[in-house]
Structure 1
């Protein structure tokens, strides 16, 4: 196994000042674990203090942006007595870092952007995706609720009823519909989402930094004024749900590839 294959996240900055943060767990469709989110968080924090970084691209690979939290890894961690709280804590800090970033951020979405993956993409300023890529919130299918800011980010981008539709039905929202709903900024067919995202990021990187920062702050404060409290609300709700019998049944059914039998307990 190569050194690159062993790293859960790859981080690089090119001569244009574009930092690319790539989720790198292709065998798990880039599902995130503690190592992933800790590395992404540190890269974003470092970028805020590095004048050489003028824009950020967040991406996965050609098969998947991110399929969300790695449920298998979470189950194994729980069995070993480890807490999953720090995973969501780090994810929430990443969402806030993306919202409050001093430089523009772009997501390049191929394949699935599900669960936390959906939140990570939508927290950026500009989303590039292919027609075959999709967003999905499947939390209710396993007895849980959206977290990682999804309840706020999807509603802010697509509106309340579309957010409800995604959250309650676990529908896959593919490229063209995502663009129509306001979840994506543009679709690409003749090039990869990553190639186009890096082009967009390079354009942002060449712009006036203070102008870019002031513009982002103004729009984000209007569109997501209560994001921190929204994240806290999700943590409280999700923490309660994780202790229910239905959540345990949902997790078991997912691992056993069967339909869950919920009781409301």
Structure 2
């Protein structure tokens, strides 16, 4: 597929999707949502890790209110069901580890697009903003699901009602994201993190995602059964065999991702 609103690079098992509308702070259009969904699915087939980031000074400023007359005559219910949901599910269901490398402001649906990733690494100068009530809406794009689970109801409610910026360091302290990184070290840092995942035990990473993302609503007994099943699969992988041999030989493991 030829992408117009993003770039897609696949090198040494690492796929990088870069939202590429820097003049619009990477605001989301119908075309961009479709392209992100397509690229995330491609990464799941071809890569061992996926990074989502933005071009220019912003990660993503949310919905482009000028896209297709969305502000004048919106059908928000259809847009969320038919366009946002497939994009977000393509990211959350991606079988390989995903990182959102938040290089700048992440606002509205852009903040929640970042939270859909397995790990969020943000530039220290970046911020997250649930801007929806500023224009008379509720958080969407998964925001009402991600935030309470990651920061608790009190902070999720305050962030949603007051629509105030959450600086990256504060987001890290809250547990909303994995880590905030100094601006001058940001790019090298997320690349090192991503390369680690792309060279790691892919099947084990898939098991981690399945176990943790499926834990809500499970009893301990049910979760123990899931762990046993997934661990059984990992135990038959070549990566497990290599990991044990490397440990005994006191050398770094060379994982193949299978």
TM-score grouping bracket, smaller chain normalisation: 0.7 to 0.9
Residue matched to 1:34:
30
TM-score scaled by length of structure 1 = 0.75
Residue matched to 1:23:
19
Residue matched to 1:231:
none
CA deviation after TM superposition for structure 1 residue 35, in Å: 1.0
Do 1:88 and 1:148's aligned partners in 2 also have CA atoms closer than 8 Å?
Answer: no
Hey, what's the Cα distance between the residues in 2 that align with 1:62 and 1:118? 16
Using CA pairs under 8 Å that are at least 6 residues apart, name the structure with larger relative contact order, 1 or 2.
1
TM-score scaled by length of structure 2 = 0.77
| Aligned-pair Cα RMSD in Å | 2.2
Hey, what's the Cα distance between the residues in 1 that align with 2:93 and 2:187? 23
Hey, what's the Cα distance between the residues in 2 that align with 1:96 and 1:71? 22
SS in 2 for 1:49: helix
Residue matched to 2:49:
55
| 1:232-247 paired onto structure 2 within 5 Å | none
Hey, what's the Cα distance between the residues in 1 that align with 2:165 and 2:74? 32
Gaps in structure 1 of 5+ consecutive residues = 226-265
Do 1:54 and 1:209's aligned partners in 2 also have CA atoms closer than 8 Å?
Answer: yes
| 1:63-102 paired onto structure 2 within 5 Å | 63-74=57-68, 76=69, 85-86=78-79, 89-102=82-95
Hey, what's the Cα distance between the residues in 1 that align with 2:187 and 2:97? 16
- Structure 1 stretches of 4+ with a deviation exceeding 4 A read 81-84
SS in 1 for 2:203: helix
Residue matched to 1:103:
96
Q: Higher Cα Rg: structure 1 or 2?
A: 2
- Deviation string 1:203-232 (CA, Å, 9 cap, x unpaired) is 01111111000011111112598xxxxxxx
CA deviation after TM superposition for structure 1 residue 198, in Å: 2.2
CA deviation after TM superposition for structure 1 residue 83, in Å: 5.4
Gaps in structure 2 of 5+ consecutive residues = 219-258
Hey, what's the Cα distance between the residues in 1 that align with 2:217 and 2:54? 25
CA deviation after TM superposition for structure 1 residue 194, in Å: 3.8
Residue matched to 2:6:
9
Is 1:176 aligned to 2:172, yes or no? no
Is 1:145 aligned to 2:99, yes or no? no
CA deviation after TM superposition for structure 1 residue 161, in Å: 0.8
Do 2:62 and 2:107's aligned partners in 1 also have CA atoms closer than 8 Å?
Answer: yes
Is 1:162 aligned to 2:155, yes or no? yes
